[in-house]
Amino acid sequence: MQQLSPTEAALVAAIDPAPMPAQVEAWSAINSGTRNLAGLKKQAEALAEAFSSLPGSLELVDPTPVEAVDASGSVQPLAHGRHLVLRVRPQADRRILLTGHMDTVFAADHAFQTQRWIDPETLNGPGVADMKGGLAVILAALTAFERSPAAAGLGYDVLINSDEETGSLSSASLIALLAQGKAAALTYEPSALPDGTLAGARGGSGNFSAVVTGRSAHAGRNPGWGRNAIVAAADLALRLKAMESASLSINPARIEGGSANNVVPDHAIVRFNIRPRETVDAERFDHAIYGVCREVELEHEVGVRLHGGITRPPKPLTREAESLFELVRDCAAALGQSIAWQTSGGVCDGNNIAACGVPVVDTMGVRGGAIHSDEEYLIVPSLTERAAISVAVLHRLAGGE
């Protein structure tokens, strides 16, 4: 179907573009770095106020407890902000999930805290594309969709979590819970390219910490008695890199530890990330990594304790997902927009949703670019463009056309 029905045209016309840029500016002005709990609280309250205009019940959900390895090698609790959940028509036979995140990669002490207009259509600022612009799109699209005569037949949950940028560890169980029984899901990450291209299949991601325990000794008097944890950690990093394949990348990102130059170090931590392209790659790594750690233990007479795991499973482009992509493409075409999709090396909550067996398009958000940098920008007309696509998709998912 390559043109809008009269009903769809009326729904698109009902989208009010005026508030969206101001919403993005106001939300971007709130620092909501994943570790800034005070900022996340302020952001969650602002979003709760904005989304309360929609029907349904809204709540702020406490994060699931998360642990992380600190610099000493100890496992410590890691605090997170609360997650916003809006439930609309939970009794409906057909229900979908819309997701976004309120956190950014910019900490409270990061230099990038303000916005500037590059030109009348381009806004530079923290989180304007990733993804406070996407949150404005969700709100505008749902507000217009509620005018649809088919809305009564479609229920939906909206999840805006506080920890997507660090892997959604405290919201993963909530994502899985809300994904249950959903016919489809839309996630509002920014488009894969500034032209609006969507991310199709995605690889997976896992983060690990390997704590290496050696034995300290005087570097001059009896170095042979020591067991150098830094050397063992460096060996482990090299062995990790050697595990790579065409479908599995491994990035040893940091080695922490050591002490004075005249002491054989007895402690080190290797932090690393893996990116499996397929589920089988993740499974092979899981089977092999403990053997590699054991080899390092035997070679260097140290202990190696592994913490972490796969947090984002690979997301293949299933037939069901492809059908949802085609629906988005057709709605865009009916609006005079050309949209394609391509494989992405990035990960997001779409990976988690797809792992629950729910078809998902996870780049329904704004056009922009340079995300995760102080050059991040939003192409402002895309707020209305993407809201229009969303309302048409929602209407058709509801069986309106």
Structure-token pair, residue 203 = 């690889």
What is the CATH code for 205-312? 3.30.70.360
Query: Where in the chain are the domains?
Result: 6-202+315-397, 205-312
What pLDDT score was predicted for residue 354? 98
Cis peptide before 131 (omega within 30 of 0): yes
Mean pLDDT of 62-79: 96
> Tokens 């893996």 correspond to what residue?
274
3-class secondary structure per residue, 241-265 = HHCCECCEEEEEEEEEECCCCCEEC
What pLDDT score was predicted for residue 190? 98
Asked if the domains 6-202+315-397 and 205-312 are classified in one and the same CATH topology, the answer is no
pLDDT tens-digit map of 271-310 = 999 999 999 999 999 999 999 999 999 999 999 999 999 9
pLDDT tens-digit map of 306-340 = 999 999 999 999 999 999 999 999 999 999 999 99
The pTM score is: 0.95
pLDDT more than 90, % of the chain: 98
pLDDT tens-digit map of 357-385 = 999 999 999 999 999 999 999 999 999 99
User: What integer best gives the mean pLDDT of the chain?
Assistant: 97
Give the residue with greater pLDDT, 102 vs 259: 102
Q: Does the pLDDT value for residue 157 go beyond 70?
A: yes
Contact (Cβ atoms closer than 8 angstroms) between residue 115 and residue 55:
no
Structure-token pair, residue 143 = 């507000």
pLDDT tens-digit map of 207-254 = 999 999 999 999 999 999 999 999 999 999 999 999 999 999 999 999
Per-residue confidence band for 2, with pLDDT thresholds at 50, 70 and 90? confident
Residues 6 or more apart whose Cβ sits within 8 Å of residue 202: 312, 314, 315, 343, 344, 345, 346, 347, 348, 350, 351, 362
pLDDT more than 70, % of the chain: 100
How remote is the C-alpha of 56 from its chain's centroid?
25
Give the residue with greater pLDDT, 160 vs 3: 160
Give the CATH fold of the 6-202+315-397 domain.
Answer: Aminopeptidase (3.40.630)
What pLDDT score was predicted for residue 400? 78
Q: Does the pLDDT value for residue 1 go beyond 60?
A: no
Residues 6 or more apart whose Cβ sits within 8 Å of residue 108: 31, 33, 35, 36, 38, 39
Q: Of 217, 233, 379, 372, which is closest to residue 300 (Cα–Cα)?
A: 233
What pLDDT score was predicted for residue 234? 98
